[in-house]
Amino acid sequence: MFFVHEIEEQVLGKNHREEEEEHEHERRERARNSSSKL
């Protein structure tokens, strides 16, 4: 059971990092779009 919990935390951490990267990508896209409108 302990090992399963450890693996779950690793997977959740990995998913969280991927979400952060996606949000960062969206922020860059938005910044580029708004600057191109100026």
Which one-letter amino acid corresponds to residue 37?
A: K
- Give the C-alpha distances (Å, rounded to integers) separating 5 from 1, 17, 18: 6, 18, 20
pLDDT of residue 29: 94
Question: Cα–Cα distance between 31 and 35 in angstroms, integer?
Answer: 6
pLDDT tens digits along 1-38 = 567 778 788 887 887 788 889 999 999 999 998 887 66
- What is the extent of the structural domain holding 14? 1-38
pLDDT of residue 1: 57
Provide the number of structural domains found in the chain: 1
pLDDT of residue 2: 66
pLDDT of residue 10: 82
pLDDT of residue 28: 94
Whole-prediction pTM value? 0.43
